[in-house]
């Protein structure tokens, strides 16, 4: 049965006479405390916060003076006391609550300033188990939640970025804060503790290797409000969860206008793809459009790799995202800016390259400081009506797989290199995916079709169009290899690839008709390799 409310109306304006400050992040603390003191607010504080305020020359009352009890257990217990929580939770216009506060000498607290132990940062630092546990804040969330619940009388500030707005509101209301303002602070406070608890519960599940805990929570902090989502009638915001994996969320934007919802989605897809390619082995460039690659290639230089990637589908490359696995240099930058491009993302960029890109003021340039690890564990989340689909990141890498030649003819070393290249890309192409590769470059990509044979035909058609645009006598799918993200259910998809000119195939295998597909390959002298791993991507 729910707890009944007494229906006591909340006052609009509540004067702020006493504030409790207890923060880990002391950014802006002294200036804020000084402004509160200047406004006649009594400052109550704890531990290091109280020390910092006192050292700045302000009068501050230790919380132990309120509680009559010292901090104990290395500071684990300091604000967990009725004199604190009664001061925060008391409904001041309720006669019973008011009497209890008087009887027990509980002095009301009107404003709480609290932020939390850096659990998320400590977790990501690789600290030992005991250190991570010690950075689980208890008193902070308890005070925050108590204050937020009783926002009818108490204002709760959890973010240093809100200090200025609090001071402005106090000035506008002659030392009081409005109910509407207190509600907004309370909403933000509950969201903060929810995100904090999500990080803690997620860490426990990871530490205990619980793949699917009974309750699952995800949290994040708003990074930017966007002009719109996928379409202009949809609102959108970008939230970051603190994961330090190199990519669009952690990148530094050196120039260009604000990233859009689609930009972020596509840039993430682009950089995750190039993360599959070791920069010490070769330069690799991927051009992405609507989260699918329209060209990927490796070469002796970024410029060479870009030219080969662009040649795969020069029409689709217009307005695309360009990602690379090495530092952007001037030579590559000069080539890329010749075509309208939305975003360039790279581990780094030379000063000369930055200057070249700067000539295109709307072109976004992002640097990440590193590449994502394709083998790293992690989770992906997709919303559906009424729930969430959560799965482990697809961290299978073709170099780690037990490849099995299933045809009479084995691939040549050159074909095998291209087959592995193609299968790396198949992992990042929407299903059904067909990828033709020749000499370390895609020459035809078919993505997102309901039929695998249609993907094969579309990829071949794009190769024909690219050949015509380049003035070639025949498409580059002639003497290419082909990768399929899942098995061929029938031989027709394979036969379509053979018709396009493929000489070797890589696919997961596992169809009831594998024997028919292998027989078709043998009949045409095609080499075929099974990976045993599927790369569906929806």
C-alpha 100 chain-centroid distance: 48
What's the full length of the chain, in residues?
538
Alpha-carbon distances of 234 from 6, 227, 228, rounded to whole Å: 40, 9, 5
Burial of 190-206, coded b for 16+ CB within 10 Å and e otherwise, reads bbbbebbebbbbbbebe
Secondary structure of 196-258 as H, E, C letters: HHHHHHHHHHHHCCCCCCCCCCCCCEEEEECCCCCCCCCCCEEEECCCCCCCCCCCEEEECCC
Q: What are phi and psi of 392, to 5 degrees?
A: -70, 145
Beta-strand relationship, 434-437 and 480-484: antiparallel
149 is catalytic: yes
From 26, 184, 188, 290, the catalytic residue:
290
Tokens of 146: 């108590």
From 26, 149, 184, 188, the catalytic residue:
149
Alpha-carbon distances of 29 from 36, 52, 137, 186, rounded to whole Å: 11, 9, 19, 20
Q: What are phi and psi of 365, to 5 degrees?
A: -120, 120
Q: Which of 464, 453, 538 is nearest to 497 (CA)?
A: 453
290 is catalytic: yes
Beta-strand relationship, 18-22 and 42-45: parallel
Secondary structure of 449-467 as H, E, C letters: CCCHHHHHHHHHHHHHHHH
The 8-class DSSP code of residue 190 comes to H
The 8-class DSSP code of residue 24 comes to S
Question: What residues act catalytically?
Answer: 149, 290
């Amino acid at each position: 049965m729910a707890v009944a409310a007494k229906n006591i109306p909340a006052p609009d304006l509540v004067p702020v006479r006493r504030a409790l400050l207890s923060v880990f992040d002391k950014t802006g603390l002294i200036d804020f405390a000084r402004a509160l003191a200047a406004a006649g607010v009594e400052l109550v504080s704890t531990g290091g916060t109280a020390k910092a305020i006192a050292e700045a020359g302000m009068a501050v009352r230790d919380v132990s003076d309120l509680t009559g009890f010292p901090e104990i257990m290395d500071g684990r217990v300091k604000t967990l006391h009725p004199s604190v929580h009664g001061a925060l939770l008391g409904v001041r216009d309720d006669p019973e609550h008011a009497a209890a506060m008087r009887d027990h000498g509980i002095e009301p607290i009107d404003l709480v300033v609290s932020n939390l132990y850096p659990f998320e940062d400590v977790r990501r630092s690789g600290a030992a188990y005991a250190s991570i546990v010690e950075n689980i804040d208890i008193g902070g969330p308890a005070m925050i939640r108590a204050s937020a619940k009783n926002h009818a009388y108490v204002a709760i500030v959890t973010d240093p970025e809100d200090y200025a707005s609090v001071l402005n509101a106090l000035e506008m209301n002659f030392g009081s804060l409005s109910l509407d303002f207190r509600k907004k602070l309370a909403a933000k406070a509950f969201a903060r503790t929810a995100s904090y608890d999500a990080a803690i519960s997620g860490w426990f599940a990871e530490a205990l290797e619980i793949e699917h805990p009974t309750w699952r929570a995800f949290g994040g902090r708003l990074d930017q409000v966007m002009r719109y989502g996928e379409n202009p009638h949809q609102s959108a915001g970008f939230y970051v969860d603190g994961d330090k994996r190199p990519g669009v969320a952690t990148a530094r934007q050196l120039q260009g206008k604000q990233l859009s919802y689609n930009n972020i989605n596509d840039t993430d897809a682009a950089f995750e793809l190039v993360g599959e390619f070791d920069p010490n082995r070769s330069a690799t460039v991927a051009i992405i459009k609507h989260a699918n690659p329209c060209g990927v290639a490796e070469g002796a230089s970024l410029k060479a790799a870009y030219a080969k990637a662009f040649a795969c589908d020069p029409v689709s490359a217009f307005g695309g995202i360009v990602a690379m696995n090495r530092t952007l240099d001037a030579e590559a930058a000069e080539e890329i800016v010749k075509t309208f491009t939305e975003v360039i993302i790279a581990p780094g960029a030379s000063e000369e390259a930055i200057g070249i890109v700067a000539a295109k003021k709307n072109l976004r340039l992002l640097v990440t400081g590193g590449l994502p690890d394709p083998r790293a564990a992690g989770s992906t989340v997709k919303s559906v009506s009424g729930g969430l689909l959560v799965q482990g990141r697809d961290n299978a890498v073709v170099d780690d797989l037990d490849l099995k030649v299933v045809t009479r003819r084995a691939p040549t070393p050159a074909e095998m290199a291209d087959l592995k290249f193609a299968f790396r890309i198949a992992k990042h192409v929407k299903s059904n995916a067909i990828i033709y590769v020749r000499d370390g470059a895609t020459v035809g990509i078919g993505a997102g079709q309901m039929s695998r044979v249609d993907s094969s035909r579309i990829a071949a058609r794009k190769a024909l169009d690219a050949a015509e645009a380049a003035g070639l006598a025949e498409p580059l799918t002639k003497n290419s290899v082909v990768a399929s993200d899942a098995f061929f259910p029938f031989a027709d998809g394979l036969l379509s690839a053979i018709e396009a000119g493929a000489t070797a195939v890589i696919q997961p295998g596992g169809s009831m008709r594998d024997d028919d597909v292998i027989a078709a390959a043998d009949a045409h002298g095609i080499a075929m390799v099974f990976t045993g791993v599927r790369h569906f991507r929806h």
